[in-house]
Structure 1
Amino acid sequence: MSNSSNGELEVIAISDVQHVKIHGRTTAGRSPLNLFWTGSAVEFNVRGAEFWVEIESSYDLLEPWISIVINGVPVSRQMLIRGRAWICVFRGMNPNAVKNVRIIKDVQAMSVDPGHSLQFHAVKAEGTFLPVEEKALKIEFIGDSITSGEGAIGAKTEEDWIPMWFSALHNYTFMTAEALDAAYHVISQSGWGVLSSWDNNPNGNIPEYYGQVCGLLKGKRNEQLGALEPYEFSSWQPDIIVVNLGSNDDGAFQSPAWTDPITGQVYKQRLNEDGTYHEADLAKFERAVEQFLFKLRKNNPQAHIVWAYGMLGASLLPAIYRAVDTYHKQTRDPAVSILQLPNTTEETIGARTHPGERSHRRAADVLTEYIRRIL
């Protein structure tokens, strides 16, 4: 693809680009192409001097952000304003060199903003597109705000819950995948858990939506975009699944009860008077872990599943061990294990009292070494 006679670059719909690699769960439809989850991306190999993408951003409250990675190095990060616009990825570069370009969604799927979406319509380049090679290893990361990279960028003093303080790159998911030269998907939502969200809302659980493209999104528009469609698991089978959930389930024990506004039912993970976990409620959490493992295995028969936990304390680790033990006894499944990740310290904390980049780096190093041993 090159300059047409009048000096304008030729526009090609994203659905017509032969060599484009899509990262992250999305729908079958490619016109336009929707990126839902954090770390989702489009990847190109471009031989040419100049390259543009046409992106459409929508939101009511929480705007999308993107990061651009060229030849493995992050070179730009930006907030996307509402509407459809051309963004220049690079220009004036050596026309003969091949540039590997990844444009990455830097923020999570926003379940609290039904108007939030990020779509790719078209590209234009002075040059040609070449095939993007498949990675030998595939990893799926499942988690909460830690996995969404909340607070992984920004000063320690930042307290605002806004997209600016989310990062897909200053993030153990990206770091681990880079270290292992792996392709990866992320399924994550701030505040959510295995059984409930941090505030005891039982709807804030990841396992319930695992079978959909991006089922935790709400509203008519997301339904039309295909977010609620069943996910085609056979289209992308991970070799490794990393589950980093439990921090918000712990939070539910420390938080006030949640009352369902529709049914009036009250939900609360209780503590005993001495501050220990109420046995019956802890058992509910353990059952949820166990059931999620069954669901993961059913949909990913070959994957090694690692429950990696501990970046914001590890108080539910004994319960996770018991749940995995119960699962093992029932299944004799050898490919499920537990890894404790390094806790975040005063030195490694980031914005919004979440793990900072240094904490993510430490977690990635431990996880990378562990996955290497498995492989």
Structure 2
Amino acid sequence: MSEVKRYTLPEVPHLVHGRTNGSLTPLTLFWTAAGLELNVRGSELWVEFTADWDIHEPWYSFMVNGEFFSRRMAQKGTERVCVFRGMDPEKVKNVRIFKDTQAMNADPESVLQINAIETDGEFLPVPERNLKIEFIGDSITSGEGDIGAKAETDWISMFFSAENNYAVMVSRALNADIRVSSQSGWGVCCGWNNDPNSAIPPIYGQLCGLLSGEKNIALGAKEPYDFTKWQPNYVFINLGTNDCGAFSQPAWTDETTGETFQNRRTEDGKLNPEDEARFAHGATAFLKQLRGYYPNARLVWIYGMLGLELAPALQKAIDDYKAETGDTNAEFLSLTDDLKNRGCRDHPSVGAHRTAANELITYIKKQNA
């Protein structure tokens, strides 16, 4: 049996998935489904991780030859983990190591890094994908509740799973390189509780701007991201569910200034027209922002996995964007609210994510027919 040797990432061919700060020593995994892909010919493979957290521990998963293999909670400090052992040493295995949980903005200590790879074999090149897709969203796109029993109500990182996420399903089906930028509870103009600070557009231009704490700042989370490094063919924006939920929540009040923010309803329970229009304007502005980053991508606003109440406002946002810019490479796509497949925390289950993934796969294939 050959000796197992340790390699740093610059020493081996690989493909990084997700936004990075440019460092491979170590590789920091910021967002959902961020990870490392390898092709290795050998009988065993090990990975060295470093992790930390105060409240929400990171989880990670392994895929071998395109199929889910195992899932683990990261341990604090540095640990050496076996991906596989005893496999045919002559066969090439495609391995993907990815972060299963989202960037935890409420935990400034939360971090997950890959330090090194160990094998008794050799590494082969990993070709870049021709199809590149960006997914932007909230808890749905973070995979919240797509794992765990339906009765579970705890908000903990154990119940987030990138593996069961519609974005990863699309990636596997179409052999696409994907990036996911999502945060549970956040929206276009405000979060689920009307907090305007929980909005994706203001922080989207940073590497991972929703993170806080000295550790994440030192890792570059607040630095402007260089979008020229990776240009997608499609950008799917799955935001609006939390903005919609905020219409049924009390006003948010800034404890320092006393200023308030609220998406209101009228006396008959309908969406307040002024607030609905503000949301549509915010969605249009975000489309313009994205076009500045991605000049050639098709921008597709997807919505509906947890209701369609804001669908008319999103359609208006798309129409306004086209009218104001002359850009026709954008559209609204309604997804199925798969009610029979609600899962943990009343979020879409793995079955609902399959439904959404199949709809997006069909859409992309039709676009490329």
TM class by shorter chain equals over 0.9
Give CA deviations for 1:242-275 in whole Å, capped at 9, x if unaligned. Answer: 0001100001111111111222211111111111
1:62 aligns with 2:56: yes
**Partner of 1:369: helix, strand, or coil?**
helix
Give, in whole Å, the separation in 1 of the partners of 2:328 and 2:71: 41
**One-letter amino acid of the structure 1 residue matched with residue 239 of structure 2:** L
Do structure 1's residue 137 and structure 2's residue 114 form an aligned pair?
no
What amino acid is the match of 2:294? Answer: N
- Tell me the equivalent position of 2:39: 45
Question: What's the secondary structure of 2:247's corresponding residue?
Answer: helix
Partner of 2:5: 10
Looking at structure 2, the residues matched to 26 and 262 of structure 1 have their Cα atoms a distance apart, in angstroms, of: 34
List per-residue Cα deviations over 1:91-138 (Å, max 9, x = no partner).
111111111000110000001111100001111110001000111100
Corresponding residue number in structure 2 for 1:234: 228
What corresponds to 2:342 in structure 1? 349
Which AA in structure 2 matches 1:325?
D
1:153 matches 2:117: no
Cα distance in 2, alignment partners of residues 18 and 178 from structure 1: 23
CA displacement at 1:17 relative to structure 2 = 2.5
1:18-51 Cα distance to aligned partner (Å, 9 max, x none): 3011000110122111000001110110101111
Return the letter of the residue paired with 1:179.
Answer: A
The SS at the match of 1:254 is coil
Who is 2:25 aligned against?
A: 31
Take 1:241 and 1:262, find their aligned partners in 2: how far apart are those partners?
37
4+ long deviations beyond 6 Å? none
Instruction: Pick the aligned partner of 1:181 from 158, 166, 175.
Output: 175
The residue that corresponds to 2:280 in the other structure is 286
Q: Check conservation: 2:37, 2:95, Cα contact below 8 A.
A: yes
Structure 1 residue 289: Cα displacement: 0.2
For 1:116 and 1:351, the matched residues in 2 are separated by: 23
The residue identity in structure 2 corresponding to 1:118 is: L
Q: Structure 2: which amino acid aligns with 1:158?
A: E
Match of 1:76 in 2: 70
Local SS of the residue matching 1:26: coil
Partners of 1:351 and 1:17 in 2: how far apart?
41
Quick one: which amino acid aligns to residue 10 of structure 1? K
The Cα of 1:10 is off from its aligned counterpart by 2.2
- Give the CA deviation at 1:344: 2.6
The match for 1:262 is 256
What 5-or-longer segments of structure 2 have no aligned partner? none
- How far residue 64 of structure 1 moved from its aligned partner, in angstroms, is 0.6
User: How well do the aligned residues superpose, as a CA RMSD in angstroms?
Assistant: 1.0
Q: 1:142 deviation in Å?
A: 0.3
Q: How far apart, CA to CA, are the structure 2 residues paired with 1:264 and 1:207?
A: 24
Structure 1 position 365 matched with structure 2 position 358: yes
- Give deviations 1:300-331, integer Å, cap 9, x for gaps: 00000110100000000000111111111111
Q: Which residue of 2 aligns with 1:164?
A: 158
Taking the aligned partners of 1:139 and 1:17, their CA distance within structure 2 comes to 28
CA–CA distance in structure 1, aligned partners of residues 24 and 175 of structure 2: 26
Distance 1:32 1:176 in 2: 28
Structure 2 partner of 1:108: 102
What is the TM-score of this pair, normalised by structure 1?
0.96
Residue of structure 1 equivalent to 2:321: 327
Letter of the 1:289 counterpart: A
Output the TM-score relative to the length of structure 2. 0.98
Query: Cα deviations across residues 173-194 of structure 1 (Å, max 9, x unaligned)?
Result: 0111212211100000000000
- Which consecutive residues of structure 1, in runs of 5 or more, have no partner in the other structure? none
Corresponding residue for residue 193 of structure 1: 187
Q: Aligned to 1:44, what secondary structure does the other structure show?
A: strand
Q: What CA distance in whole angstroms lies between the structure 2 residues aligned with 1:294 and 1:320?
A: 14
Aligned residues: 368
